[in-house]
Each structure stands twice: as structure tokens, then as C-alpha cells.
Amino acid sequence: MTKKSTKSKDNATRAEVEQIDKPEGVKAGDNADSEEIDKAFEEAMKAEVSSEETAENVEENSEIDVTAVIEANGGQVDVDSLTVKDIPGVGPSVAKKLIDSGFKNIRAIATLPPRTLMQESGIGDKTAEKIVKAAQDLCKMEFTTADVVFEKRKNLGRIVTSSNALNEILGGGIETGAITELVGEFRTGKTQIAHQCCVNVQLPVDQGGLGGKALYVDTEGTFRPERLAKMAMAKGMDVKEALKNVIYARAYNSEHQINILRQARKIIETQNIKLIVIDSLISHFRGEYFGLGSLGPRQQLLNMHIHQIMQLCDTYMIAAIVTNQVQAKPDVFFGNPIVPAGGNIIAHGSTYRVYLRKGKGDTRVAKVIDAPGLPESEAVFKISDKGIEDAEV
């Protein structure tokens, strides 16, 4: 019934086109001019759709003015209470595209390049520029003073690692709003620390947690829920609930890994995610891009991925742990030839870099090799059946 009525409507529109656009001397319905009529019909239908979208979207030449929104709130805008629907000039069509793409939070839009917003949401480039600018105005992303930043940093959350020595060299634990990179050879404790933090993030704030959930992206197949269960049991937690609070995704290639992070926005907002783990960050990139000819494209894509992680940390004030592999430099004859993989891209992208190596027996040694405001220092911890613990001195 619906198809028949739609067809009748199209035929009626087509008849109008035939009457209006038929060449002189050609009657309506004449097959001699069917190609021109088809073309005119398609253009008419496109114009109709375009006019409907323009009515809902931000006009190309219009400017988005957020002054009214700020004034209506007495000059103090609670950005977290607003959605993209509250941006003046954003119609239902654009708002739906943004929300469906995971951009419900205005702060998430304000920290994005317009090009990224355009690519991920499907809106036009001019519209993307105006929406990002409006979001930045609402978030008041402008100059401030060091004392304001100082007070803000006092309220940063931290996730304890269950080792006091390791917490100390990290300034209290895994910091929110930052990327902590754990780099080392196999069996040095990278995945174990990541698992432990997935459990500890669920603890209340007064016990060293953030009272939230974890999002675990596994690229090497090393995720073990039974290990989480043992760690949760050692903390006296409800094992079943602890496992439910760790949301897992297996990434099978570098593009899939990036797409998982794009989808993470929706999960972060609805599931109270406070920690993102990517184990390991570079595994797929090393496997798919090899040879000097592919080094440039690999590093560019990896750089974009790291900025993607940092954008999530900044927007939602969550912590991120990424594990990294190592590689040997064949031209080093003296000293340690083992260096972190990924080159300068990962070195600059990570906020905290912790190098892990094996110690005696079940002990491991962690060394902070790069951290703003923290000195280079070492800590010894051990990996037991209960999880990460302080090593006996």
C-alpha cells in the first residue's frame, strides 16, 4: 500500500516535470525525449531533499551566536548539563548525526578538529567549523592563569596499582586526563598492571579507585577474565560484579582498533567508564606496516590514534593505560640496545612512560623514564597469585 502511494506521488511529480521541461514540439510522454525528462526529474527530486535538509541544518552563511545561551545562564554555563541540541542554529538533522556518532557531549566537540568531526559524523565542512567554534565558546577555551590550573590539578583522580612503591614513583597512581605508557619485554608485568587497574578503578575514591568501570581493548589476545576474578577476590569484591564492570573489545587490525575508540564515546558516557586500556598499542601497526616505505603512513596513523586517546582523556577526565612493545637496535654495540617501539610519535604522545624489566624471581622493576614534574626513579614490585603487590625488602 505504501509503495503504491509513493509510486503514484513520483509519477505525479514526473508528469509535472514532463509538462514543464519538455522541449518545444515534443508532447508529454513522448519517448524521444525520455533522457532529458529523466534528468529533469532527478534534479527536481534532489532539490526537494536538499531543501528539507537545509531547513533542519545550520545554514551555510549563517553564524552561530552562543551569547544568548551564556547570558541566559548568568554568564556561567554548566557545559556538562548541555547537549548539542542546545547549540543555537543546530537543527534536528545535524543533532541526530552528531549524537549517533557519539558526540553528545559539547566538550567532546570542542576538543576536536572540524575535519575529524566532519568525517566521523557526516556533516558538511562549513557546518563542522561553526559547531566546533560554538562549542569552544561555550566551554570558554581561552587563556587562564597558572593558579587556576594548579587548583584544577589538585582534583585529578588517581588509580592505585596495589603497590605502594609503584604508586609513589607515579605520583600517587595512574593519573586521570593522561596517557600512561607501560613499555617492556614480554613477561615484565605490563598486562598484569593493566588487569590490576581494571579491578582497582572500581574501588571507591577513598580506597584508591574512581568508582567507575574500565574499557579494555585487546590487540594481542592476552586478556584473561579469570585473572581479573582472582584479583577481585583478593580485594574482597563481588567477582561477578567486578567482571561486569570491565567492558571488553578485541581489535583484529589497526583500523578496527581505531574504530573501537570512535565507538567508545557512547560507552564512556552511558557506562561510567573511568579507565581505558589498550594492550598493546602498536601491535597491529607493526604487523600491517613494514618496510621503510610504509613507515611514514604508519606513524601518521599512529599519531592520529594517540591523539584520539588523549582527546577522550581530556574530554571525560578518565585515565588511559597503553602497553608498548620493544625493539632492538642492531647498530648499538655498547649499552642497552632495547628501545620502546613506535619511535618519537609514541614518546611525545604519552604523558607518563614507565619502563618495566624482570627482577629476581617474581619481582619486577619499574622505572619512570619520562614524566612532567616527576623525577626518574625506580620501584620494585612483585606479581603474585593475588595480583600486583609490594616486593618484600
pLDDT digits (tens, 9 = 90+) for 372-388: 989 999 999 999 999 99
pLDDT of 181 higher than 90:
yes
Q: DSSP H helical segments within 143-253, as ranges?
A: 146-154, 164-169, 190-200, 225-234, 239-244
Nearest C-alpha neighbor of 231 from the set 250, 252, 256, 214: 214
DSSP 228-283: HHHHHHHTT--HHHHHHTEEEEE--SHHHHHHHHHHHHHHHHHHTEEEEEEE-SSH
Q: What is the pLDDT of residues 203-234, one digit of tens each?
A: 999 999 999 999 999 999 999 999 999 999 99
Q: Which three cell numbers stand for residue 33?
A: 525525449
* DSSP per-residue string spanning 4-40: HHHHHHHHHHHHHHHHHHPPTT--TT-GGGHHHHHHH
Asked if residue 66 has pLDDT above 80, the reply is no
Answer yes or no: are the C-beta atoms of 239 and 245 closer than 8 Å.
no
pLDDT of residue 51: 41
Q: What's the whole-model pTM score? A: 0.80
Kindly report the average pLDDT of the chain as a whole number.
84
Facing residues of 365 across strands? 357, 380
Of 61-75, 96-110, 163-177, which has the strongest mean pLDDT?
A: 163-177
**The predicted structure's pLDDT at residue 61:** 44
8-29 pLDDT, tens digit each: 444 555 555 445 444 444 454 4
Peptide bond into 254 cis (omega under 30): no
Q: What is the mean pLDDT of residues 358-364?
A: 91
Mean pLDDT of all residues in 73-83: 66
User: For residue 336, what pLDDT is reported?
Assistant: 76
- Looking at residues 89-111, what average pLDDT do you find? 85
pLDDT at 75 over 70: no
3-state secondary structure of 45: helix
Q: How far apart are CA 64 and CA 129, in angstroms?
A: 10
